[in-house]
A = this chain, B = another copy of it.
Amino acid sequence: MSIGQEMYDLCVKMFPYCRSITGNGVRKTLGTLKEVYDNIKIYEVPSGTQVFDWTVPKEWNIRDAWIKNSAGEKIIDFNNTNLHVMGYSLPLDREVSLDELKKMIYTQPDQPDVIPYVTSYYKERSGFCMTETQKQSLPDDTYHVYIDSELKDGSLTYGEIIIPGDSEEEILLSTYVCHPSMANNELSGPSVTIHLAKWLSSLKKRRYTYRIVFIPETIGSITYLSRNLDIMKKNTIAGFNISCVGDDRTFSYISSRYGTTLADRVAKNVLDFYYPDYKKYTFLNRGSDERQYNAPGVDLPVCAICRSKYGEYPEYHTSKDNLELISPSGLDGAYQVYQQCIQVLEANYHYQIQCLCEPQLGKRGLYPTISQKGSYDEIRAMTNFIAYADGSNDLIDISNIIGEPAVSLLPIIDKLQNNDLLKAV
């Protein structure tokens, strides 16, 4: 089975779980990810813990919810889609008039046929979500609203994988596990990330250590940073927030705060050469955990590569962000781009040619022995690489200067190193 299909099937499996920023949905998701790659460590952080300017909220769990009309018919049912309940809704069990009901119903009026994804984490409320069309068609009646949920002290749950490399320097991969039944803007992230972890752990040699985290968005990254900031500031050379990596429409890039980190450089190098039509967003278009990783004083070198970016596609945060929106090839495309970024980072040394003037490539079989107009074109990438391997440029610099993808220079580096003509300095 292709890795794209494996990633897709994992999304299918995790789709029905009712995730939120705390609770059993997160735990169940982490458990399923553990089946793919075992070495995840699970952490629980108690409600009420102070994390920078925030407090870990109460834990929320939900078993059932519905609205019945006076005939006893369920007009919406949590078991059909967990999007019907506003995240963090308090328990409810009473009869209400149509007017009262309408005050607890959230819709997306500009998209009348979708159920929106709505939460109220930090103010206690109860609420239901449905399509605007359904809301408009509700007859005058007495309705029974029922939410069997629980909001009480508990803990916030997250998962962490550390895959050691030769160096203590780290590359961060971060994804989130806190949205209910949505596909691109939820399950694509953990699915691609867990498979990247599996691949990284299989490599014979790793220059860098990999820190891979599965957290609830915002409060999770704030919590994680409050417990790991010192080591992350010391060691992180590049990081990526992995989100919305499942559809086939486009690639997108969201820069770090200033767009100049090593993470930005490698992301742009890979996308510029292989997907030149990708969409570039600045940090002003941020929205996920790159917000926290790039916050003043945190200052981690983190950017994001997405397929269709959160906030920019019509199905975003609605019931239409479902399993039809993502595909094995969409997931696989993102997986490969991240693999290429990692391959380039692992080889991203400053290179220096080991002789003065051009080396005589001909005597090493690396150059045509007959000189005639046109005979050098095919070794142009190699001679250009050599021209800029002056110790001041790293692999990404050279790639950008000479207009050849960094990934394509890896075999040239091998040839030159095998001939003792090149050193990483």
Chain A positions near chain B (C-beta within 8 angstroms): 52-54, 106, 108, 116-123, 125, 218, 221-222, 225-226, 229, 257, 283-284, 286, 291-292, 294-299, 311, 316-318, 352-353, 355-360, 362-363, 369-373, 384, 386-391, 401-403
Contact = CB atoms under 8 A, between A and B. Distances in A.
B384 A284 contact: yes
Q: What copy number does this chain have within its complex?
A: 3
A118 B297 contact: no
Contacts of A116: 372-373
Given A125-B370, A222-B358, 4 more contacts: A257-B387, A284-B384, A295-B353, A318-B373
A275 B318 CA distance: 40
A54 B360 CA distance: 6
A286 to B, nearest CB: 8
A299 to B, nearest CB: 8
A298 B390 CA distance: 10
A362 B402 contact: no
A225 B373 contact: no
A197 to B, nearest CB: 25
A50 to B, nearest CB: 11
A54 B54 CA distance: 67
A388 B283 CA distance: 10
Contacts of A106: 370, 372
Nearest to A294: B387
17 contacts: A53-B356, A53-B359, A54-B357, A118-B372, A122-B362, A123-B370, A222-B358, A225-B356, A225-B357, A284-B384, A284-B401, A292-B357, A295-B357, A295-B387, A296-B387, A311-B373, A317-B373
Contacts of A384: 284
Contact of A353 (B119, B296, B353): B296
Contact of A298 (B222, B291, B356): B356
Contacts of A118: 370-372
A317 B119 CA distance: 67
